[in-house]
Structure 1
Amino acid sequence: MHPPLVSILIPFKNTENYLPDCLVSILNQTYTNWEVLIVDDASTDASYSIVKSFVENEPRIKLFKNSGSGIIDALQLALSKSTGELITRMDSDDIMEPRKLEILSNNLTKHGKKHVTVGLVKYFAKDGVKPGYKSYENWLNTLTKSGTNYTEIYKECVIPSPCWMVYKTDLLACDAFNPNIYPEDYDLTFRFYKHQLKCIPCDTVLHNWRDYSTRTSRTHIHYAQNHFTSLKIHHFLDIDYNHHKTLTLWGAGTKGKIIAKTLVNKHIDFEWICDNPNKIGRDIYGKNLKDFETLAQIKNPQSIITVANKKAQKAIRAYLTKLEMQPVEDYLFFC
């Protein structure tokens, strides 16, 4: 019995310095039943020519030019051309560990459909990995080792965009890449969550994630923080919002204000609390900010917490535990 064909979706734009390493890492995979659907998103450097030279020697690599514009259009095109039973994504500036496809496909076929398999990731950079990215790496890998990725889905993207694999039928059922919503990797993660695709734990580094100053996720407006916050509240209202509870927003910083404005515009009623004495009692967007201790008097609350300070978060968790409140059901941390 032949192992299932794995389709690898790769959008690229102006990554001539990194594409050879990326493609060689795929050619060196221990798992050999794969196809690459790689789409040029209007590159202006030598990227297209570099990929074309690989195509001439490797029929499993199939090169296309984006008929639209942007990563989502490129991913849509790649998916439409795929013929594999299993689907994964790769970034054109990253490097696969040799057993990545083998481990991901084995884990997925072992557990079957309605699962998403993920692997540990490791950042690398020419001038060293910045503390923020190292912290994200450690946090993400801790979740992946136990398969508890969704427990903190409202904080950050809990499934690394270039290190997952699913059955194609499950990906299509999630309507993946169909809406033009950025950041597309975080949106897809919420779709996996909504469709209850269980995360398969993994304790092996499978993907090397390259960091550099001009990386798209650092520079493009689609990956700005306001997009992340808007995406979180969109999916919260669709998936976890309990209409029978009193929605309560904790925090009046930038994220808190984005969420508050969204709720006001959608005519969704909520209570707004904070622990900043300079903001308590103020009127913002027609809502009066109350002291956080008001939470104890709010009937049946479901709280969105936007306080980012780690020390403050610890104190908030202790306070919520004292009030006998449960994660997700009664509160969610949005940062």
Structure 2
Amino acid sequence: MISIVMPVKNAFKYLEECILSIQNQSLADWELIAIIDNSSDDSIHILNKFSDSDSRIKVFNNDGKGIIDALILAYSKTEGEFISRMDADDKMHPNKLQMLSDSLRENPKAIITAKVSYFSDTELGQGYLDYQNWLNQFIDQQNHYSGIYQECVLPSPCWMMTRSTLDALGGFKSLSYPEDYDLCFKAYQKNIQILGVNEILHYWRDYSERTSRNDPNYADNTFIELKTSYFIACDNKSDQPLILWGAGKKGKKIARLLIESGTKFIWATNNPKKLNVPIYDQQLVLDEEISDIKDAQLIIAIADRKASEDILRVLQASAVDEVYYFC
């Protein structure tokens, strides 16, 4: 059986459409564990209506507050061997559960995902289309972790894994916000493979009241602290030089975190004006000076187009061993 965990907060407007898409799945062996997360709308009435007529739908109130507490409670109520997550304002493709579970049976130690498609009742912003396309490229290439330090490479409402895999990741209990990105990093840390079904199986709704737009836990969408902590834990090699490229807002935050952790690094910039005064008692060097540093690890914390051209030029002439894009 597949257990679907679904936090619900003020999703009344779209909740019925969401649940109908679950009930209309080609695979019927599922349970939906819906957690009312301090909703102030009438979501509970929609859920009770469906649970009264469908025993596969089970509804509970969140004793805590927030998505992580809701996920912890939902998981504690599950009975299935396969676990998936759903957002209460989205829609499933009719074959989503069937196709994800078929792939998971063939690859029981992996996390299975699929392509997603953003939609909206109003005009969809280009940023969401870019993220959709960025995510879906990993399905084509089957190399999800290559983008792990840029954004979350695992769409939160479109994955399935076995109970034993989720338990190996610590379930939802050890997560911090953003919980989907943290879960993805934990899978990366444990070398758990992510495999993608080459079909659009999830429809991701964007609207102004969406949780990720309004919850303060997601306000800083750079997630630098999360990225840096996992880089130090997973990828930093003390026997190789580490270069941080970029001294803007992101670069400074990464530098501060590296310094606090005792991680040594060379700080590079393409802005000569920043060479005059040390930042955090760290003297910066021009980016051109890093080309002769052999076998280095490089964190890139700069994203504008002209800088990207500079980065490409320097990397082509450098002996850098590993590159990590943090933006």
The answer as to 2:18 corresponding to 1:26 is no
CA shift, 1:225, in A, is 2.5
Other-structure match for 1:75? 71
| Unaligned segments of structure 1, at least 5 residues | none
The answer as to 2:264 corresponding to 1:279 is no
Q: 2:184 aligns with which of 189, 199, 207?
A: 189
TM-score (ref. length: structure 1): 0.94
The answer as to 2:36 corresponding to 1:40 is yes
Other-structure match for 1:117? 112
The answer as to 2:138 corresponding to 1:136 is no
Asked if 2 retains the 8 angstrom alpha-carbon contact of 1:146 and 1:201, the reply is no
Distance across 2 between alignment mates of 1:72 and 1:171:
14
CA shift, 1:190, in A, is 0.7
Query: SS at the partner of 2:53?
Result: coil
Which residue identity is paired with 1:298? Answer: I
Other-structure match for 1:331? 323
Distance across 1 between alignment mates of 2:194 and 2:306:
29
Query: SS at the partner of 2:118?
Result: strand
Distance across 1 between alignment mates of 2:291 and 2:7:
49
Query: SS at the partner of 1:202?
Result: strand
TM-score (ref. length: structure 2): 0.96
Distance across 2 between alignment mates of 1:242 and 1:305:
16
CA shift, 1:299, in A, is 5.2
| Unaligned segments of structure 2, at least 5 residues | none
Q: How many residues align?
A: 327
Other-structure match for 1:168? 163
Which residue identity is paired with 2:326? Answer: F
Q: Report % sequence identity.
A: 42
Distance across 2 between alignment mates of 1:208 and 1:267:
43
Residues 39-80 of structure 1: per-residue CA shift (max 9 Å, x gap): 011111101111111100010011011111110010011111
Other-structure match for 1:313? 308
Superposed, 1:214-253 pairs within 5 Å as: 214-225=209-220, 228-253=223-248
The farther-off stretch of 243-252 and 28-37 is 243-252
Distance across 1 between alignment mates of 2:232 and 2:106:
34
Asked if 2 retains the 8 angstrom alpha-carbon contact of 1:147 and 1:202, the reply is no
Residues 230-282 of structure 1: per-residue CA shift (max 9 Å, x gap): 11011111111111112211001111111111112222221111112332333
Asked if 1 retains the 8 angstrom alpha-carbon contact of 2:99 and 2:197, the reply is no
The answer as to 2:197 corresponding to 1:202 is yes
Distance across 2 between alignment mates of 1:82 and 1:323:
52
Distance across 2 between alignment mates of 1:94 and 1:224:
21
Q: RMSD in angstroms over aligned alpha carbons?
A: 1.5
| Structure 1 residues 311 and 149: CA distance shift in structure 2, 3 A | farther
Residues 197-240 of structure 1: per-residue CA shift (max 9 Å, x gap): 21223220000000011211112221123661111011111111
Distance across 2 between alignment mates of 1:291 and 1:73:
46
